[in-house]
């Protein structure tokens, strides 16, 4: 596997890099960013995974997330993957008769699932990419201590972070999310994505639904969620009260912070990014 370095920049005495490689999961080129904090030669560092939301690439959090100062102080590697496979001729980039396809389905909206429905099953294997392939690349090419990993995300990426942590409880020490989609079974974004990628059998959706996973017995030591009360998607798409109820019913520790006046944007995320990283530090 050849890893191409697209760019590196010094920041907070560490290095912010952007890299590309040919993925065996998606059969496309994939791009991701990694921040390496200052560290001693030979030192292995804990890893924070950040999964982005609808329409985003690795660049959104890399450019606007304001994570590097805290990561440099805490000694965290910060990894930001893309949200879907990409390419000008990629089947499944859009659905011609759907005007919203480029926004909440197809390109930029991989939902961190393994698609089983044509034509998306050829390339949309984001679950395998995040859970299997990219961790091997990080371990092989960066000073990562893979025994100390945590995961976080925003919106669709919050959904990805929560479901991946619940499916891999031995891998991730902690999980947090900004404004996550907590139940794709019960919101328009999720219903569109999971029916399009997986099919209409909703029983097969449960492994991609945080509330359903918890109800079915999946566990993680603790969850933190921060949610803006001025988020335009709060009522119809995000529904944090469903996660609160699921965690209460199952006895899962949940810290749910509601923030007056904050929306769904990176103004919100960047405000509370350092709080999340310091929260993860307790577990790493």
CA dihedral 261, 208, 176, 147 (to 10 degrees): -160
* Cα gap 229→227, rounded to integer Å: 6
CA distances in angstroms from 208 to 20, 177, 276, listed in the order given = 27, 15, 23
Q: Which long-range contacts (CB under 8 A, 24 or more apart) does 128-132 make?
A: 128/25, 129/23, 129/25, 129/26, 129/30, 129/81, 130/49, 130/51, 130/81, 130/160, 130/164, 131/164, 131/167, 131/168, 132/25
Q: Residue 100: how many CA atoms within 13 Å on its side-chain side?
A: 7
Let me know if 47 is exposed, middle or buried by CB neighbors in 10 A (0-12, 13-18, 19+). Answer: buried
Place of tokens 């924070």: 48
**Phi then psi for 227, rounded to 5 degrees?**
-140, 130
The H or E element spanning position 172 is strand 172-178
DSSP character at residue 210: H
- From 84, 155, 174, 183, active-site residue: 155
- From 58, 154, 159, 264, active-site residue: 264
Does residue 155 carry a catalytic annotation? yes
Does residue 264 carry a catalytic annotation? yes
- From 82, 104, 209, 231, active-site residue: 231
Does residue 154 carry a catalytic annotation? no
* Cα gap 70→47, rounded to integer Å: 13
Kindly state the greatest CA–CA separation across the chain.
Answer: 54
Which residues are part of the catalytic machinery?
Answer: 155, 231, 264
């Amino acid at each position: 596997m050849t890893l191409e370095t697209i760019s590196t920049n010094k920041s907070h005495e560490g290095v912010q890099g952007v890299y590309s490689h040919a993925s065996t999961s998606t059969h496309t080129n994939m791009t991701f960013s990694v921040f390496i904090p200052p560290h001693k030669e030979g030192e292995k560092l804990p890893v924070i995974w950040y999964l982005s939301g609808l329409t985003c690439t690795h660049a959104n959090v890399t450019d606007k997330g304001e994570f590097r100062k805290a990561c440099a102080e805490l000694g965290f590697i910060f990894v930001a993957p893309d949200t879907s496979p990409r390419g000008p001729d990629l089947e499944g980039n859009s659905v011609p008769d759907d005007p919203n396809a480029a926004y909440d389905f197809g390109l930029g909206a991989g939902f961190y699932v393994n698609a089983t429905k044509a034509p998306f099953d050829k390339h949309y294997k984001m679950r395998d990419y995040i859970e299997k392939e990219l961790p091997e690349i990080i371990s092989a090419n960066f000073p990562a201590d893979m025994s100390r990993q945590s995961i976080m995300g925003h919106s669709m990426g919050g959904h990805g972070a929560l479901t991946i942590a619940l499916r891999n409880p031995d891998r991730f020490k902690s999980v947090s999310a900004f404004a996550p989609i907590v139940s794709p079974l019960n919101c328009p974004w999720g219903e569109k994505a999971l029916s399009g990628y997986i099919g209409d059998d909703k029983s097969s959706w449960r492994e991609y639904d945080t509330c359903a996973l918890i109800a079915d017995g999946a566990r993680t030591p603790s969850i933190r969620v921060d949610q803006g009360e001025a988020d335009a998607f709060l009522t119809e798409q995000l529904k944090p009260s469903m996660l609160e109820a699921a965690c209460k019913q199952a006895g899962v520790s949940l810290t749910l912070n509601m923030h007056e006046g904050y929306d769904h944007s990176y103004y919100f995320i960047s405000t509370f990014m350092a709080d999340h990283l310091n929260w993860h530090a307790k577990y790493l």
